[in-house]
Amino acid sequence: MAAEFQIERAANLEGVAHGFFGSAQGAHQFGYGGPGETGAVRAMRAGAAGAIAPGAKVITPHQTHSSDVISVEHAWEDTAEGRPEADAVVTDKAGLALGIVTADCGPILLADAEAGVIGAAHAGWRGAQGGVLGNTVAAMEALGAKAERIAAAIGPTIAQASYEVDAPFRAHFAAEDEVHFAPAPERAGVARWWFDLPGYIAARLRRAGVGTIHDLARDTFPHPARYHSYRRATLHGEPNYGRQIALIALL
């Protein structure tokens, strides 16, 4: 590998093989849609899986900002094309490193250690609002988990101080979601707000009955040495951007 993996872990997932992988000064890029040769990306993903669970197979869906969840029984090939489409994966099988790639959206890793059931979900605001987190919990419960026993960790995500939005964006949300918006300075006479995506994700997890929630509180936007960021790349006019990966596995 070009650099040692930067791995962050959540206290409420202690005892469960997992990790949130950073960019290591841009040396690590885990998304097939990002820059780099396909084979190198595949090798990077396999290396990350091996770092948390030696021998585990990488299982990541083709993400589409949906609310769809796949219950994984068997490994599939980690290829750039042809992977099942979904934004969350769950399993009760050992040796599968469930993964989600992100670049500002929320990576959420979940586990009911007692039941031996895990999940990984990708939640931007659309996915969270559309129900991907509740659907993930329901899919885990179908495998024997109990919501109140599930520990969920929110990995590096764009934070409220970095997520400026406008009135059309705010109009997507209900009155009960006002708590996740804070006034931002007007620009060109147009009202703006700061949106708390991690807080919104946490609220959706609580609505789903999740027992413990831990937010790593890592903002992807202002830390180019540690994280890829779609918004940062867009503001800088960069033609492409990288992705982090979050992985969880049963040993």
| pLDDT digits 0-9 by tens, 170-180 | 999 999 999 99
pLDDT of 1 > 70? The answer is no
Euclidean distance between CA atoms 249 and 117, whole angstroms: 9
3-state secondary structure of 44: helix
For the sheet containing 88-91, what is the strand order?
69-71, 88-91, 117-123, 106-112, 151-154, 212-215
Q: What is the pLDDT of residues 185-244, one digit of tens each?
A: 999 899 999 999 999 999 999 999 999 999 999 999 999 999 999 999 999 999 899 999
Give domain status of residue 224, yes or no: yes
Give domain status of residue 180, yes or no: no
Give domain status of residue 76, yes or no: yes
Give domain status of residue 55, yes or no: yes
224 is written with which tokens? 């180019």
Q: What is the pLDDT of residues 96-126, one digit of tens each?
A: 999 999 999 999 999 999 999 999 999 999 9
Give domain status of residue 229, yes or no: yes
Give domain status of residue 2, yes or no: no
- Looking at residue 2, its pLDDT comes to 58
Q: Total domain count for the chain? A: 1
pLDDT of 246 > 70? The answer is yes
Euclidean distance between CA atoms 5 and 21, whole angstroms: 7
Number of H helices, E strands in the chain: 6, 14
Q: Which domain holds residue 128?
A: 7-159+196-249
Strand blocks (E) in 103-211: 106-112, 117-123, 151-154, 164-165, 181-187, 190-195
198 is written with which tokens? 């991690």
Give domain status of residue 164, yes or no: no
Say if strands 212-215 and 151-154 run parallel, antiparallel, or are unpaired.
parallel
* CATH for 20: 3.60.140.10
Give domain status of residue 165, yes or no: no
